[in-house]
Structure 1
Amino acid sequence: MAKLRQAPLVSTGILVSPLEGTVAPAKLMRRLAHPPPGQHGGGLYSTVHNLLDPPAWSWTSLQFSDSTAVGNAMKRARSPDTSPPAGDADGTAHQPKISRKIRACQACQHRKVKCDLENGQERCSRCTRLDIKCVVNKSLQTLLDGENEWKSKMEAQVEALQTAMADVQRVLNVPNGSAANMTAGTAGSRHSSVSKAQPPPQPQPLYGPSPVAIVNAPMASLFEATKLRNIRSDPWAHHGQRPLLKSSEPDFIAQGRVSLRDAEYLFDTFRSTLNAYLWGGIALVHETLDAARASSSILTSAILAVTSLHTQDEGRAFDICYPVFLELVSQAVFDRYHTLDDVRGLCIGAFWLSDLSWKLSGLAVRIATELNLHQFCAKSLRDGSRYGDEARLWYFLYVCDHHFSIAYGRPPVISENPTITCHEHFLQRPDATQADFRLHSQVGIFIILSRVFHAFGPDRSRMIGNDEFEALRRFDADMGFWRDRWKDKLQPNKYVSQYPAKGVFLHYHFARLLLFSICLRGLRPSGVYAMSPERRQFVNKAITSATAALDLTLNDPDMRASIIGVPLYLLTTMAYACLFLMKCQAQWKSANLSISYEEVVPLIEGAIAVLNATRPCVRHVAHYLGSGLSSMLEKFKEHHNLDRPNPEERDQSASAQQVWSQGEMWPDWNVWMFGNGDLSQQTLSQDNYGLTFLDALNSQMPG
């Protein structure tokens, strides 16, 4: 044992530290005899146990004769081992062994007493008894092990969060750029020796804004910063089905508010008749009532309400279906989740429900823009194989919006842009149908009317100058080109016969009426001196167009049959033409226009007869228009009788006629035709609804 104090233990390639060589022989023997757990498989203790084997070794053989041998042994121990470790034979990385771990606190080490500090305890029993601070000076290897263990746990948690966020982003149509940045930042902070499998990259959602769109959309940038869900559009919109919560709720048919038998009858009627008037069925893509119910309650209720409007049952079905539709629309105003069929349902209601048309079309456009239909329309023009339904619905909305803006003298919501001006490129798609041709013919005429509106402005008190007549001629030429382009492209439909092609001529006449009636803006009957021959010619063209529109509607069998089925816009055409002819004949006699009382009265009487034929449909607007025009025609005839007074009343009537011709009665036109002329005083009763609707049209009429 004395020799152990003089020199460290050395074996071939193994060195016992000089510190351990100075330890008392008893303590060293105790450590060698009882190594820590896990150290029996090799290393220092295994070698020393071999040294203690009497047959092979003796303690005297461990003594070195000079210091040179000790130095050489130390150099061999410090030099890197170039031989491959035992674990490298199978390709695994070599893990260094930990020689010792500090388990005692600093106070116990200083007193050289046993420390009973266990893992998880803050203080040992001795430090607790003495009420002193218990500090453990951990070795560097222990600190690294703890850090690696913590990092491994955090990496696993981050990867789990990334996977969950990717699933959420895929459902909510959120771009995964932020998740990718987080992944990259986490990977950069990992230890170089730790290799983790990266999760597979999530595909970019098919729908939703791209990173380019986020740059151009401030609200999208706000979402990226705040992650607020309530500023995002509907994640279920493009899957054609309602959210699970709504799908699990019973709809109004399941609740018994409308019987299944009546609902199926109304749905089938819409598919076979009314749907054909919406350009061949663009508005309805479902074959069965069950499919429509599963997709959208708004669509289903709109179809039932519109069809019941045309049912000859004294309005009983309409009185049931209409409140259901109003209730669902009211809920949709503040609903976050919408589908494409919700938009279609709002459009269907707008095309036929006159008291809601403007509000429904505006709501439909707002929801559609939230669903980014305008962006998908642009994508469909670039890629002819995708986004067909979205593009069709956007053009459908464009026509719906302009039906109830141009006719009422209001600015349209959807403005002209490349997707609108280049709309005919959509017809080059391989899946384009005759319904698409009919729809895009409407887009073409409303592009022209929108340009007319923006060229001359909404101010009806501004007189059109003579220098603007050339613009009128250009627009007239554009309308003629549009008519010649589309009249032969639209083929007959099995449900509405020749209506598609004949509707081109009806739209052409009405468009010219709107165009040339602008020449009466800012004029009064007393100021006939301001009407130049050229202006008079344009006004006469407006009169000719109004007469042609009424002739076509009254004398063509296909057009007469469509009165009870066409959308509201074409009934507006009839009403506007009748009002314009009565107003020109009554107010502008001194202007020498090409119009006579004998021509106007038969046309209006024929229109009233056609509208009154719809009397069984007591809730249809055509029925109210017939009543309103009848009342106006009676007043028109009463005033005309002033031209043929009795001999004893000649002087009085001549004075009245002079006042009329000079236009002094002009401010009383609304009072004369519509009572007090105050729309707020009118109610939607059967007696005055027609006058209310006609008064709204008259308020937008120039002159």
Structure 2
Amino acid sequence: MKDSQPPCTRCKKRGLPCTVNKSLQMLLESDSVWKEAIERKIHDLETGLTRVSDHLSLPTVNSASDEDEHDDDHRIAEPLRMPPPAQVSPQAEKHTPHNFEIVMDPDSGPAAIPGSVVSPVLMGGVEPDRAEHDVIRRGCVTLEEAQRYLDVYQNRLDHFLYRIIGDRRTLAQVRAASPLLLAAICAVGALHLASPAFEKCYEEFVAIAAAHTFSRRNTVDDVRGLCVAAFWLSSISWTCIAAAVRISTEIQLHRSIFKALTGDRTHYLRTRLYYLVYVCDHHFSIVFGRPPMTREDDAIRAAAQFLDTENAVEDDSRLVSQVHFWSVGSEIYATFGIDVERPLTRHMIEPLRRYGIKLDNIRADWTERFSYNKYVGNYPRKGVGLHYHFARLYLCSMAFRGIGQPGFKSSDVALDIDEIANSAILSATAILRAVVTDTEIQSYLNGLPTYFDVMIAFAVVFVLKVSTKYSSSVRIDSGETRQLVAELVSVLKGVTASMHPRHLLASVAHGAEKLLAKCSPQDLGPVPANAHITMSQPTFDEGLYDMSYAWNDNSFDNFYMGEFDFLSNQDTFSNFQPDLRYQSLPQL
């Protein structure tokens, strides 16, 4: 080109237009600028996707590692790629038909458990990055908030359930132990402190628990976390305890009793955790008409021996007293079943009396064994009395089975049924009077597990039903009964005024008030308010123990046949509007 200006000599001779192309250097410089811009965009995109996947607990997408970029000749950005099977994301483990193998154990003796010689051994999987599920790291709660929730849990709530987390721990120790346990403590603590963060903590716990569903590396602290949630978070209690029972069985907690009896502290802690799982399972199985998932195995039969070990403390005695109560409950459930339409017969009366005697003995044996507790006052002793009346009401309410059906209260059992029915009334009213008259018990209500709230609710429904639908076997002061329920409503409204609106007891208070209002004076008939009612023929309707029958056009589930849940009766309790998300939570 003349003077470095187009056209060039060649193009000029041929009469062609001449266009100057960029030099190779210019091309390389332009390509480098473009590549750097694309790398920045890809990095920003990866950062955004990581945040989204962390929030939704989805598998992460990894870019090329920094180790591959040490050589200038290889500084070209690699395309996004999924991790190989051996590097599963922290949020989910790979479950394929080929990531385990069966190992025949040559050291097993001829009396070994059959499945122990072909136990699956994991291959290719990695321990999930549990730090990714830490609610503090995820920004759901601050360190200060988490410390407050842990304090209220360890200084109060945990002592109602005989110390689920065992020895006292710092926040750092809880975080290191299990993100599931931390999330459960934060959710339960926020609920009982009426914190506005409860909703977020609750949803976070559900997400973390769901992410751990198929994990094969769960720990005893994960079981503790599920128990904490099951005892206090009513909406997901059954789901949580089902997962806890499964995991505790997988990690063989029920077999630790043998070494616990020899003084091994690790197995002592594992055994007491198994007892907690057993008690929690029975809280949400027997009283809801479900077969318990835990059985009367060696660990349960050795509960009394467990207290003789060198590691046992008073909290263990309280725990074992519960094991004894629920062991009898299991026998009652197995003996009488759940058919509420079948009247009691002659051969059922004597077993029922024997179970009543067992409950009496448990109450007598344990009530005076417990002393004042610096965290929960006289609850250890008073709790025995409440549990006794809960169990006694469950047992004696069977006197009303089959009422109105042919064969109900036949001549050979009439007097026995009268006696048993009156015992049910006494236990139900004892429960309500304990709440109404004992201010210390009232102070426990914002802390006791969900089971107490449910049994208080059932006692209310029971006494109102009996006082408005008379029976020849029951003598009851209807006016006094209504007054007792009215006083209970007043107490519950006062107690729940400072509670979180999602606390189950707040629903019970609203429900009891509505139910009392619907039990109008005309339902009591023309009988004077203070008269004792006795009638020659049973006039109970068939719905006494089948609450699915309409009572004043409102449906109630039978407490022992299905979930008796005030949250599900929105027509009846029009002033209470539950968050429907709590009715359709993801299953663990």
Q: Report the TM-score when normalising by structure 2.
A: 0.71
Match of 1:26 in 2: none
Question: Which residue type is aligned with residue 544 of structure 1?
Answer: L
Q: Deviations over 1:128-167 (max 9, x none)?
A: xxxxxxxxxxxxxxxxxxxxxxxxxxxxxxxxxxxxxxxx
1:472, distance to aligned residue in structure 2 (A): 1.5
CA change 1:176–1:536 in 2 (3 A) is same
Q: Which has the higher helix share?
A: 1
Amino acid at match of 2:275: Y
Match in the other structure for 1:573: 455
Q: How many pairs does the alignment contain?
A: 462
Contact kept in structure 1, 2:404 and 2:542, CA below 8 Å: no
- How far apart, in 2, do the equivalents of 1:664 and 1:458 lie? 16
Helix, strand or coil: the match of 1:671? coil
| Structure-2 separation of matches of 1:473 and 1:425 | 27
Higher normalized contact order (CA 8 Å, seq sep 6+, divided by chain length): 2
- Counterpart-to-counterpart distance in 2, 1:175 and 1:378: 27
C-alpha deviations, 1:364-421, integer Å up to 9, x for none? 0001101111111233235555511111100111111111112212211101123212
What residue is the counterpart of 2:379 in the other structure?
499
Q: CA deviation at 1:291?
A: 0.8
CA distance in 1, matches of 2:200, 2:185: 13
1:607 aligned partner:
488
Alignment of 1:26-65 (within 5 A): none
Residue 482 (structure 1) shift? 0.6
Q: Equivalent residue of 1:283, what SS? A: coil
Residue in 1 that maps onto 2:312: 432
Does the C-alpha gap of structure 1 residues 213 and 631 become closer, same or farther in structure 2, counting only changes over 3 Å?
farther
Closer, same or farther: CA 381–329 of 1 in aligned 2, 3 Å: same
Structure 1 partner of 2:550: 671
Q: Which amino acid aligns with 1:631?
A: K
From 375, 390, 399, the equivalent of 2:255 is 375
Question: CA shift at 1:676, angstroms?
Answer: 4.4
Residue of structure 2 in register with 1:564 after alignment: 446
Superposed counterparts of 1:121-160, under 5 Å = none
In structure 2, the CA distance between the partners of 1:597 and 1:368, relative to structure 1 (3 Å rule), is: same
Contact preservation (8 Å) 1:525, 1:662: no
Change (3 A) 1:426 1:641: closer
Q: Matches of 1:320 and 1:480 in 2, distance apart?
A: 44
Aligned counterparts of 2:238 and 2:232: Cα–Cα separation in 1: 11
**Structure 2: how far apart are the matches of 1:370 and 1:601?**
49
Per-residue deviation, residues 587-637 of structure 1 (Å, max 9, x unmatched): 2x2415121211211221122122212123211111011001111111112
Change in CA separation of 1:684 and 1:602 when aligned onto 2, cut-off 3 Å: closer
SS of the residue corresponding to residue 338 of structure 2 reads coil
Q: Which residue of 2 aligns with 1:211?
A: 108
Which string of whole-angstrom CA distances, capped at 9 and with x for unpartnered residues, describes residues 325-345 of structure 1? 110111121222211111001
Match of 2:507 in 1: 624
Name the SS of the counterpart of 1:211 in structure 2: coil
Deviation, 1:255, is 2.2
DSSP 3-state at the match of 2:287: coil
Conserved? CA contact 1:277–1:565, under 8 Å:
yes
1:446 equivalent to 2:446? Answer no
Q: Is the 8 A contact 1:350 1:400 kept in 2?
A: yes
Determine whether 1:360 maps to 2:232.
no
1:511 to 379, 391, 395: 391
C-alpha spacing 1:389/1:662, structure 2 compared with 1 (3 Å): closer
Work out whether residues 628 and 691 of structure 1, in 8 Å CA contact, stay in contact via their aligned partners in 2. no
Any unmatched runs of 5+ in structure 1?
1-171, 182-209, 235-242, 646-656, 693-703
* Alignment partners' CA distance in 1, 2:541 and 2:133: 62
Shift in Å, 1:518: 1.1
Q: Distance in 1 between matches of 2:548 and 2:370?
A: 41
- Which deviates further from its counterpart, 488-497 or 677-686? 677-686
What percentage of aligned pairs have identical amino acids?
32
| Residues 285, 292 of structure 2: 8 Å contact kept | yes
Alpha-carbon contact 2:104-2:117 (below 8 Å) kept: no
Q: Does 1:582 align with 2:479?
A: no
Q: Deviations over 1:494-543 (max 9, x none)?
A: 01111110111111112111111112112228976637122111101111
Q: Partner amino acid for 1:251?
A: D
Partners of 1:627 and 1:690 within 8 A in 2:
yes
Q: How does 1:300-339 map to 2 (within 5 A)?
A: 300-313=182-195, 316-339=196-219
The corresponding residue for 2:37 is none
CA contact (8 A) 1:351 1:357 kept: yes
Q: What's the CA shift for 1:641?
A: 5.9
Cα deviation, 1:67-98, whole Å, max 9, x if unaligned, reads: xxxxxxxxxxxxxxxxxxxxxxxxxxxxxxxx
Q: How does 1:377-392 map to 2 (within 5 A)?
A: 377-382=257-262, 387-392=267-272
TM-score, length basis structure 1: 0.60
User: Per-residue displacement from partner, 1:33-64 (whole Å, max 9, x unpaired)?
Assistant: xxxxxxxxxxxxxxxxxxxxxxxxxxxxxxxx
Q: Given residue 579 of structure 1, which amino acid in structure 2 is its aligned partner?
A: V
